[in-house]
Amino acid sequence: MAVIGHRTTLQEFVTSDWEGNGQHDGLDAVIMAIAEGSIRVQRQVQQASLADALGTTGETNVQGEIVQRLDTASSDIFVETLSQSGHIAVIGCEEIEKPVIVEGLVADGYIVLMDPLDGSSNIDVAVSIGSIFGIWQKKPGETVNEDSLLRPGNEQVAAAYVVYGSSTVLVLATKNNVCGFTLDSESGGFALTHPNIKIPADCPYYSTNEGNNKVLDEPTQKAITLLRDKYSQRYVGSLVADFHRNLLKGGIFAYPADQNRKEGRLRLMYEANPLGYVAEQAGGAASTGYERILDIIPQQLHQRTPLILGNKDVVEQTVSVIKGG
Ligand code: AHM
Ligand code: MG
């Protein structure tokens, strides 16, 4: 089925009068490298069963989690496409212990932190998964090293994610501007389908792992009960897919700290910061339950955080209950 009429392509968008373009030289090339990588990852995800590429590698990553074969393949693909963009200084990746410092860079450069394949438990079962990217710009004259990556989320210049679902959608956020692009299987590229995304004022959904209720502290249990009493539950178990639905339809995602996960479950640098940035640019909010996600000064590359994410009002109400208010 051909697309009727001309839609703005991602390439046209990032080289046009786009906010990211005027102020950040080379950011367009970084976004196109993410798009190129995601098209390759999407093919691998679709073909994985046929190519016998599912299952685990038999290794555990730096976080002590079992590594899926597609985790490794996705990580390799994005490291390759980003490195070849000519505008990357350093890459931090959920699957790689140490940052990948890209050699041969002259002046400008971006710092990308990524979860190359989010939703590990859904990889083998044909359920939506995705890739998440936070993008920072190197400071003028800065020599990059491991510490260059430990910057707060509020210094991101852009963030993006891709959902590999019933369609493949790339969402790109710069300051006050969030747009969605759908992969067109006819042209092989992304086309603008969701301009100027804002989280709807209504909040029909809440997304949380109810199985953790018994290990939540009392105020957090109360906060989740209030969500349950008011909203319908939707929980895919892939953060990127849960967030994407809540961004378009309205909703709140909550993975708070609990007795078993005192630091939280999700990764600050690869998941919470990029999606927190997207949420805020779309009028939403992101909190640990105690502070704004984007204000956290990171201590470690792979650190975890509690995450309450989505509609601003509902995030604020939930945070106030978690704080015992
Ligand atoms: P991953 O990055 O290894 O896939 O892990 C993170 C995932 C998130 O996508 C999702 O929100 C969460 O883990 C689900 O956790 P749980 O299975 O505890 O509900
Ligand atoms: Mg993840």
Determine whether 140 is exposed, middle or buried from the number of CB atoms within 10 Å of its CB (0-12, 13-18, 19+): exposed
Ligand 1 pocket member 237 (CB < 6 A):
yes
d(CA 203, CA 314) in angstroms, rounded, equals: 8
Task: For ligand 1, pick from 57, 61, 118 the residue to mutate: most ligand atoms within 8 Å of CB.
Answer: 118
Instruction: Write out the E strands in 66-128.
Output: 66-68, 88-93, 100-101, 110-118
CA of 322 to the centre of ligand 2 (A): 24
Ligand 1 pocket member 121 (CB < 6 A):
yes
pLDDT at position 223: 98
Report the Cα–Cα distance between both ends of the chain, in Å, rounded.
Answer: 54
Q: Which helix (H) or strand (E) holds 29?
A: helix 27-47
Please compute, for residue 24, the number of CA atoms within 13 A of its CA located in the half-sphere on the CB side: 24
Ligand lying closest to the C-alpha of residue 243 = 1
Question: pLDDT by residue for the chain (325 residues), tens digit each?
Answer: 445 568 999 999 999 877 767 778 899 999 999 999 999 999 999 887 776 777 777 778 777 777 778 889 999 999 999 999 999 989 999 989 999 988 765 566 899 999 999 998 898 899 999 999 999 998 878 888 888 899 999 999 999 999 999 999 999 999 999 999 999 999 999 999 999 999 999 999 999 999 999 999 999 999 999 999 999 999 999 999 999 999 999 999 999 999 999 999 999 999 999 999 999 999 999 999 999 999 999 999 999 999 999 999 999 999 999 998 6
Residue with tokens 């502070």: 291
pTM equals: 0.95
Ligand lying closest to the C-alpha of residue 239 = 1
**What domains, with CATH codes, occur in the chain?**
3-194 (3.30.540.10), 205-322 (3.40.190.80)
Q: Of all atoms in ligand 1, which is nearest to the CA of residue 211?
A: 19
d(CA 225, CA 80) in angstroms, rounded, equals: 45
Residue nearest to atom 15 of ligand 1 (CA): 237
Q: Of all atoms in ligand 1, which is nearest to the CA of residue 238?
A: 9
Ligand 1 pocket member 16 (CB < 6 A):
no
Ligand lying closest to the C-alpha of residue 274 = 2
State the sign of the Cα–Cα–Cα–Cα dihedral 230, 236, 238, 243.
negative
**DSSP string of 230-282?**
HSEE---S-HHHHHHHHHHH-EEEEE---SS-TT-SEEIIIIIHHHHHHHHHT
Task: For ligand 1, pick from 41, 224, 265 the residue to mutate: most ligand atoms within 8 Å of CB.
Answer: 265
Q: Of all atoms in ligand 1, which is nearest to the CA of residue 122?
A: 4
Ligand 1 pocket member 26 (CB < 6 A):
no
Ligand 1 pocket member 258 (CB < 6 A):
no
Distances (CA, A) of 276 to 4, 6, 34: 34, 32, 19
Ligand 1 pocket member 209 (CB < 6 A):
yes
Do 67 and 61 touch, CB atoms closer than 8 A? yes
Ligand 1 pocket member 120 (CB < 6 A):
yes
d(CA 60, CA 41) in angstroms, rounded, equals: 21
State the sign of the Cα–Cα–Cα–Cα dihedral 153, 271, 80, 11.
negative
